[in-house]
Amino acid sequence: MMRKLFFTLFLFGIFANGVYGQDSLAYKSKWQIKTLVGTNVPITKLLQGKTIDYLLIYDDHLFYWNESISCFFHKHWGLELNFQLEGSKKLKSRADNFITSVQSEYDDKYYVQSETSGMYDKFHFFNGDIEQFSLGVVYRLEINKFYAYPKLLIGMISFTIDEGHANVKEKNSNYEYKVSYSGNRTQNNNFIITPSVSFGYQIIKRLYVNADIMFPYFKTNIVFEKEFTNLYTKEKTVEYFDYKKNIFTFSLGAGITYVMR
Q: How confident is the model at residue 124 (pLDDT cuts 50, 70, 90)?
A: very low
Mean pLDDT of the 50-79 span: 93
| Confidence at residue 163, expressed as pLDDT on a 0 to 100 scale | 87
Mean pLDDT of the 173-195 span: 90
Mean pLDDT of the 2-24 span: 45
CA distance 68 to 154: 14
2-15+25-259 in CATH: which number? Answer: 2.40.160.20
Domain boundaries, the chain: 2-15+25-259
| Confidence at residue 115, expressed as pLDDT on a 0 to 100 scale | 66
Residue 2 has pLDDT above 60, yes or no: no
Mean pLDDT of the 157-167 span: 89
**CA dist 67 to 92, 142, 198, Å?**
24, 21, 13
CA distance 226 to 220: 19
Residues in CB range of 242: below 8 A, 6 or more apart? 223
Q: How confident is the model at residue 225 (pLDDT cuts 50, 70, 90)?
A: very high
pTM of the predicted structure, to 2 decimals: 0.80
Q: Assess contact for 132 and 165: CB atoms under 8 A.
A: no
Residue 112 has pLDDT above 90, yes or no: no
Strand bridging mode 130-139 / 77-87: antiparallel
- How would you classify residue 234: left for phi > 0, otherwise alpha for psi between -120 and 50, otherwise beta? left
Q: How confident is the model at residue 222 (pLDDT cuts 50, 70, 90)?
A: very high
Q: How confident is the model at residue 188 (pLDDT cuts 50, 70, 90)?
A: confident
Lowest mean per-residue pLDDT among 23-32, 106-115, 158-167: 23-32
